[in-house]
Structure 1
């Protein structure tokens, strides 16, 4: 039920018990866990030695300013570069989106990461946290590029996670730092921000991450705490049968329901299958909060495990990879 964060570049002794605790499904890695490709590969191997091969390893490796592993990996441009290309050459943008996704996914799979929380399906409409992480302001363009990105991730052996449902791009606030409210009607949200998510679901994305934004015309709870958004709309109206992930419970906007235990419960009660506890200081309390919870359905979580990937040596000797990297990195302004 939980994906937890670790403290540093090596697995600490006290973290062994956290990894093997009931309710822990995976680990999310950040820049604080990265020093080099060799080091992070060894850390991933150590996590699996302690917790077993079934534990999920994930990361935010979007490109641009949200790329946790940099040295030794392809420096990927932000997703907005794909949107800019689409304005002049839609066909090329679709090709580059697939290649961007394949590069990211294949590099992560080569070191043992199961999946990245990608693609960002939010619209580029001025949000402080999203910015150039989004593909485009136009819902139709973003939808087309989201589908291409999901295809590329799948070709790289990686599950796709659409974020931040039902759309974080049209509010100003950064939910890491403050609460965010979107007062628009359900009709307006469906006609705009939700379209890239619908497209990603049609492309068979395996998971959706719910936003901490409150959409007051639909429900008085943030989407990740909302039975209406998760069970009635996402699963009911949109027919999504995959994994729903609650965004990090350490974020400021997650505090609307109370402390750590209340946040975990609110996510799970609303219908989330996995909850992110990204910062080590909240992990013990989050684990305590799930000890008497029913486990999330295995059939929703299992598809997040990565397909068999290339070794790093095999990857770097792939001439197709060189062509993809040359084309994608040329998009950086």
Structure 2
């Protein structure tokens, strides 16, 4: 590999946010993944508590769900271990690497009391039902713990409306309310608590999955006549218009046919650039949801990700291309996708896929680096 190619890989790799396998320094899986991430200068790492392929294998072998969840350790064992892991990630990938987690509360919480963590929020629905002072106290406590663990940001809050009670989000209590005003209020409380601790916040999943009848982990929903854009977009518009808007906006793998009938929002130039950047005036980091989800396109093996989806998202205007490396295929023996993804991104830029070329890639990378928490 030439020096110039190596430099280009690192410029493109700065846009990647990936999962890694292993909880402790010296774990061969972790070190192998980090070797590949380091080669291409991966800009961000996302932590997970459960290794999904291992969990599924245990279930298939007859292990009870709770036992399987506890046994299928990914990156999280205890608070002290997570702090040490964050330090190790920075040692291996550079002090500028941005470390993120999904800590919504309720069912979507990577740091749980049974592993010694103290401050997970209740579910979004339960959070919204609390008195205002209790919401603020809970949000403050969780943000303080996340900062103490060494995180740079939290991939929360969810600002999808609970407009379909039986839908994939509302049924799991991942939505604050069907009322845009309640959603906006609760989201602001979480964002303000996180910002006070120096943490970046992520509002998700644009343009809103509250009316969707399918889970983007397993399918690509279409936002049909049940999607009322004026209502569903109200929290997004309000939060983006705040003096300090959320640092990250995550686009979903749902198709919004009124804007782009052919591509999911996460891969659509009309959505990411046309609506989010130009119409709504958002200047922060635009992230995809994980590209190994079925809604983003085919994914045949753990770690393969979706190279085509990553390139499409790059073309569309995404700053942060996320691959959790945690959904499909066997748990062992599959190479981490960081290098393949970076190679594809370099080729796409070299072929003129991004208006502004490498200068635009560097601008996007700088947005990602701005998420790094001052210490």
Relative to the length of structure 1, the TM-score reads: 0.83
1:142-173: per-residue Cα shift (whole Å, max 9, x none)?
12222222112111221111000110111111
Q: Give the counterpart of 1:118 among 156, 171, 186.
A: 156
Q: Which residue of the partner structure matches residue 306 of structure 1?
A: 373
The separation in 1 between residues aligned to 2:100 and 2:123, in whole angstroms, is 19
Q: Which residue of the partner structure matches residue 288 of structure 2?
A: 246
Q: Give the counterpart of 1:5 among 9, 19, 24.
A: 19
Q: Give the counterpart of 1:286 among 325, 334, 341.
A: 341
The separation in 2 between residues aligned to 1:15 and 1:238, in whole angstroms, is 37
**Pairs within 5 Å for 1:226-265:** 226-255=268-297, 260-265=306-311
**Pairs within 5 Å for 1:167-178:** 167-178=208-219
Q: Give the counterpart of 2:315 among 224, 248, 269.
A: 269
- More divergent stretch after superposition (161-170 vs 248-257): 248-257
Q: Give the counterpart of 2:40 among 22, 31, 43.
A: 22
The separation in 2 between residues aligned to 1:144 and 1:133, in whole angstroms, is 15
| Aligned-residue CA RMSD (Å) | 2.2
Q: Which residue of the partner structure matches residue 235 of structure 2?
A: 196
Q: Which residue of the partner structure matches residue 11 of structure 2?
A: none
The separation in 2 between residues aligned to 1:256 and 1:114, in whole angstroms, is 30
1:24-60: per-residue Cα shift (whole Å, max 9, x none)?
1111000021111111211111111111110011110
Q: Which residue of the partner structure matches residue 206 of structure 2?
A: 165
- More divergent stretch after superposition (158-167 vs 97-106): 97-106
Q: Which residue of the partner structure matches residue 148 of structure 1?
A: 189
The separation in 2 between residues aligned to 1:256 and 1:192, in whole angstroms, is 32
Q: Which residue of the partner structure matches residue 329 of structure 1?
A: none
8 A Cα contact 1:103 1:156, kept in partner = no
Return 5+ residue gaps in structure 2 as ranges.
1-14, 50-73, 327-333, 350-357
Q: Which residue of the partner structure matches residue 72 of structure 1?
A: 116
Q: Which residue of the partner structure matches residue 212 of structure 1?
A: 253
8 A Cα contact 2:18 2:324, kept in partner = yes
The separation in 2 between residues aligned to 1:21 and 1:61, in whole angstroms, is 29
1:68-107: per-residue Cα shift (whole Å, max 9, x none)?
011222232111113224xxxxxx33x4443333222221
1:223-268: per-residue Cα shift (whole Å, max 9, x none)?
1111111111111111101100011011011106997210110111
Structure 1 stretches of 4+ with a deviation exceeding 6 A read 256-259
- More divergent stretch after superposition (222-231 vs 4-13): 4-13
8 A Cα contact 1:23 1:287, kept in partner = no
Return 5+ residue gaps in structure 1 as ranges.
86-91, 309-333
Number of aligned residue pairs: give it: 299
**Pairs within 5 Å for 1:60-99:** 60-70=102-112, 71-73=115-117, 74-85=119-130, 92-93=131-132, 95-99=133-137
The separation in 2 between residues aligned to 1:195 and 1:67, in whole angstroms, is 26
Q: Secondary structure at the match of 1:162?
A: strand
8 A Cα contact 1:147 1:199, kept in partner = no
The separation in 2 between residues aligned to 1:22 and 1:175, in whole angstroms, is 28
8 A Cα contact 1:19 1:50, kept in partner = no
